[in-house]
Structure 1
């Protein structure tokens, strides 16, 4: 099962128009059968490298970061969202971190970048929230965004996720101390703002033709991934199930995982699935545009990025 990359222009002619004026690329499109998928960068989140590998030694962690010419203390964590066109439905997957966090000044770009791509927020018919962490619902919480969305927009969230954030458990996480209160606040604000629009689902839901969400759990109890499939081609947006370090080290746990051991099982299953089927994979926190194939490589996996089509 394979998918082909296409020049951005034919896709954006359908979804919007060019002209962001930015000097770095912030969106990239692929065609999955008859469906259009655009990955959009919300920016980067500077976080302690220790959160990327909470169950390994500092020496092992330093070796990985040194080998990639990255700093040992702080890591620029990519943050990506996705936009999918299926017939007359326009589906947004996650919304970025928004503008309510003074320590994340280099992210929160999603709404602006949708606008510069010619996307009117009122054209979005559906939103899938992979999970209710602040860097996935924060864009929706930004002042003025709700008023620009259509009143009947459907926001698909796993029932287990909604239930979890009524009384979240952080006992297995290893986060900077300022983060849990911010996560609670963002999740509560999201539910308060969009409660009437939230469509809860149990295990799987078909959002539109060829677009479905399925619960994996692990990262959060209701974490889900989004599958895009058409004409024998497939791409899975895995949300926070996979991080940059995990291709080489799938068992390395992340400090933001509410069930670290379960999250390891989830990502290994997703890696094996992608390696066996040849489907494309994209992720919220893999370097933009995060699109590529997965190959088995010793005890780990190898990420094979798509060749950009200019």
Structure 2
């Protein structure tokens, strides 16, 4: 498989505009960390954008694991034992004449008090991207950290009136009466998730394009329902010119390579989510294609290798 050439872009460096592959130099807001990273998959342009970070208890990584085992993994990874920052990654794709936003970040709900998250809209603007250029949105699922950016005040008015929002029909159905029986979330999260999903459907119902199992959004851009994390959770596969990349949404977390059987607190069907994770990681290891996921450390671009009974994450070398 031909090697793709990813490219890191910081806020102080050249901006990439998916409407024009010739970069334009424009000074963006001052930030100390890079927040976008460009990859080319054949003829498809991909821009990974950081929506910021979400602080959560470390127990959320594997609440079914023995506490001492979980603590040992965190220690081996040089991570804090009580809480750490989950990355929030969103992907913008340009295929042919379509510009596709895959997930939309957390948004800026003042009741959440999460000032370091919800950065997507600001960072798209810093990248020189006009929201009106987005022709399609693909939702991996409807948790609030994947749809909230479209609920930020003023955003809907800046989007195209003919915007298509692609989402699995099973996901829309689930949020009509969501089941939180098997989750292990911090207090308040179920109510917030339920309320955000309800508001989102009310705001965007007429623009939803629902599919059952698999759906082609644009040339080389296919969304496929996996279930597990939520009943309609989906992954997005990009393929062009022999290159491939999968955006896995919440099917894969950082701990999932070493311990794919650990249950994440946000999984509505944790046992099925673990089966989905193992199948997907095996597939990615076999194909050698690149992986991006919502909660892997930014820019979250890498590959998967089999490591005994588990897996190994192989991040790309940044190409400046």
Does the 8 A contact of 2:8 with 2:318 survive in 1?
A: no
Match in the other structure for 1:160: 170
1:81 aligns with 2:85: no
Q: Does 1:25 align with 2:34?
A: yes
Aligned residue among 238, 248, 254 for 1:244: 254
**Quick one: which of 12, 16, 35 aligns to 2:16?**
12
- Against the structure 1 CA distance between its residues 206 and 307, is the aligned structure 2 distance closer, same or farther, given a 3 Å change threshold? same
Q: Which structure 2 residue ranges, 5 or more long, are not aligned?
A: none
How far residue 188 of structure 1 moved from its aligned partner, in angstroms, is: 0.5
**CA distances 1:170-216 after superposition (whole Å, capped 9, x unpaired):** 00000012100000011011101101111100001100001010000
Task: Confirm or deny: 8 A CA contact 1:3 1:31 kept in the other structure.
Answer: no
User: In 2, Cα distance between the equivalents of 1:212 and 1:37?
Assistant: 14
* Cα distance in 2 between the residues matched to 1:74 and 1:15: 39
Shift of residue 104 of structure 1? Answer: 1.8
Tell me what 2:216 maps to. Answer: 206
Contact 2:18 2:129 in 1 (8 A): no
Match of 1:133? 143
Q: What is residue 111 of structure 1 aligned with on the other side?
A: 121
| TM-score, structure 2 normalization | 0.94
Deviation at 1:148, TM superposition (A): 0.5
Q: Distance in 2 between matches of 1:219 and 1:102?
A: 22
Aligned-residue offset at 1:8: 5.2
Tell me, yes or no, if structure 1 residue 71 matches structure 2 residue 80.
Answer: yes
After superposition, the Cα gap between the structure-2 partners of 1:2 and 1:293, relative to the gap in structure 1 and judged at 3 Å, is farther
Shift of 1:22: 2.1
Gaps of 5+ in 1: none
1:223: which partner in 2? 233
The answer as to whether partners of 2:53 and 2:88 remain within 8 angstroms in 1 is yes
Is contact 1:3–1:280 with CA below 8 Å preserved after alignment?
A: no
Q: 1:173 to 1:13 in 2, by over 3 A?
A: closer
User: How far, CA to CA, are the matches of 1:189 and 1:2 in structure 2?
Assistant: 43
Residue 180 of structure 2 is matched in structure 1 by 170
1:282 alignment counterpart:
292
In the alignment, which residue of structure 1 is the partner of 2:67? 58
What is the CA RMSD across the aligned residues, in angstroms?
Answer: 1.4
Match of 1:41 in 2: 50
Aligned partners of 1:258, 1:179: CA distance in 2, in Å?
A: 13
Q: CA deviation at 1:158?
A: 0.3
Distance 1:144 1:309, change over 3 A: same
Name the residue aligned to 1:95. 104
- CA deviation vs aligned residue, 1:243-268 (integer Å, no higher than 9, x gap): 01111111111010000000001010
Kindly tell me: are residues 208 and 174 of structure 1, through their superposed partners in 2, closer, same or farther at Cα, counting changes over 3 Å? same
Measured at CA, do residues 2 and 215 of structure 1 come closer, stay the same or move farther in structure 2, by a change above 3 Å?
farther
CA drift of 1:64 comes to: 0.8
The alignment partner of 2:179 has SS state of coil
TM-score normalized with structure 1 length:
0.97
Pair 1:123–1:108, CA change in 2 (3 A): same
Superposed displacement of residue 6, structure 1:
3.8
Task: Choose 153-162 or 69-78, whichever is displaced more.
Answer: 69-78
CA offset digits 1:3-60 (Å, max 9, x no partner)? 4124457981544655323221000011000111110000000001111101111101
- Confirm whether residue 145 of structure 1 aligns to residue 149 of structure 2: no
